[in-house]
Chain A
Amino acid sequence: MAESAGATFGKTMLQSLLGSSKALETAKFLVLILVFLVPLAIYLVQRRRAVQALRVSRDEWQNTFDSMPDLIAILDREHRIVRANRTMREKLQLNATALIGQHCCRLIHQQDTHPDYCPHAKLLKDGASHKEEVYLPVLHGDYSISVTPLYDTAGELTGSIHIIHDITERKQVADELNRKNHEIEQMIYSVSHDLRSPLITFKTFLGYLEQDISAANNKRIGKDLEFIHSAANRMEALLNELLEMSRIGRSILPHKEITFRELATEALDAVAGQISAGRVDVRVSDADLLLCGDRRRLLQIWQNLLDNAVKYMGDQPAPLIEIGVEIQPGETVFYVCDNGIGIAPEHQEKVFGIFEQLDQHSGGVGMGLTMVRRIIELYGGHIRVESAGVGQGSCFRFTLPDACKENM
């Protein structure tokens, strides 16, 4: 019995042992899973995250690359485009497939070889960054082109990052500044010349006066004094007008609303004397417009133009001045036209220059139209004169965009 009991015990033990060996297997399996599969899973999860992060970073970089307002491309050593951002694709109106692999020279410069100034060619020679400012006809503007070298991991030069930056606006501002500077230089030149002239007259005629006084030549003394007087008057007029010119930009009265027809009427009143003396017929257009600006300055425009029109009427048997406004979509053009002596084509730009006078017997010092142009420019406008030539009358046309309110 004991044997049998012992046998039973042994069996049970074995069974339990066997059973526990199964459990051991299970445990071993679980350990295996823990040791190999969990890290694998972790690895896979991490990899997935890394790939995602990479994708996000790539997309971010791509978006950054694409949203740059500059035209950016990566060029290889053969001047071929490897990558191009969206701005470049859009500006050149080409998709990526059409762009990639193209030669920069053909695409941008529309020629088979690169231009002399090509910064990329310079970079390929010396491995340094380069920058050039050029006008690019294909993009209709001025651009600054800069290149930065690109190297591979082995340190070999593979190409460049090629950035085309639009400088058209800056260039325009610079050109405008240059034009203004030139105008100022021209003005200083004219002023110093025109002030020198009466000075010569003073000194010379004072010299004559001394001689004539000692010779008691009364007739000549009178003449000498006359010349000195008129030179002094001219100098005074010059200085007064110069002062007035300098005030145009500085003293601006508060802007007020005034209609074109009110301005025209007021300006006509100011020159009424000359108009009736010259029997000039004046026609004012029916079209009207509300303006806003320094009333006194705006008035000076019409006053000066009307004054000129009357002054340069010549011996026209039926003198006529027409003033008005043409309201067109996008631009409102004012005009003061006459059928007077007209202006030869070669003088048409000259009339706006300071101290330029078409006729020195007309009185004044030749600053009227310079002043008119200056006021018009203050209101963002421009003025030009049209005349078929001498004897054909003249027509001054100008715009005042910053003074024009909505159409009435």
Chain B
Amino acid sequence: MTHTKKGAGALMGHLVLGYPTLQESIRTAEKYVEGGVEILELQIPFSHPTADGPVITAACREAVEQQRVSMQDCLEALQTIRQRFPDQEIMVMSYVNRVYAFGPRRFAEAMERLNIRHLIIPDLPVDDAQALAITRHANIKLVPVLAANATDARLEKLLAAGFDFYYLMSDFKITGSTFSLHPRLQKVIGQIKQTAPEARVGIGFGISTPEQVQMVYAAADVAIIGSALIRAQEAGGLETYLSSVGSA
């Protein structure tokens, strides 16, 4: 597994499995890796992605309603991507109802077989009993998705629980908004790094330009791009876009 070099920023690229088709989403994942994306964030689409902005919501809707992508299709796509890139770091993102419907334990075991170590489930508080039902039976960690309003007490509790990747929202935004870095994030990052120096911190929501990627690398370990990649793909300029943000 290629872990991020400390001190040098890593790029995490998000895509929706099944968008625009299942096969094309697999090819897109390949293009991401070939274009220098160090962590793949693969979203299992849900009909109602409550934390996503219009671009990712539309992609999820297309995958669910038009492409009719099932959980089984997604697991097979993940298997294909894993076989193609045995050492690639992959995080899987979805919403809690998809995991709950599939069965938390069954889902965790499927992830473990795919050598996937991190799950991002934004509408599942990482210390809820339902979260424990996922992580209890497999070598898998949830990724807390935090914003600048995370209280000190909450951060202390999460840090004590030993999470090793923290996903920070750049600002009070939904995905795909204009980019800004909330001034209090620096304090949140400082608290994480002080208690858990080995934990990685990623920042996402609204990142699109190489300059913004640079700003994120100056503050954290990983820059997470989602909507901007979908827009680049839709405009037919994915490779060019990847090389621009990849050289940041």
Q: Do A and B actually bind?
A: no
B residues contacting A by CB (< 8 A) are none
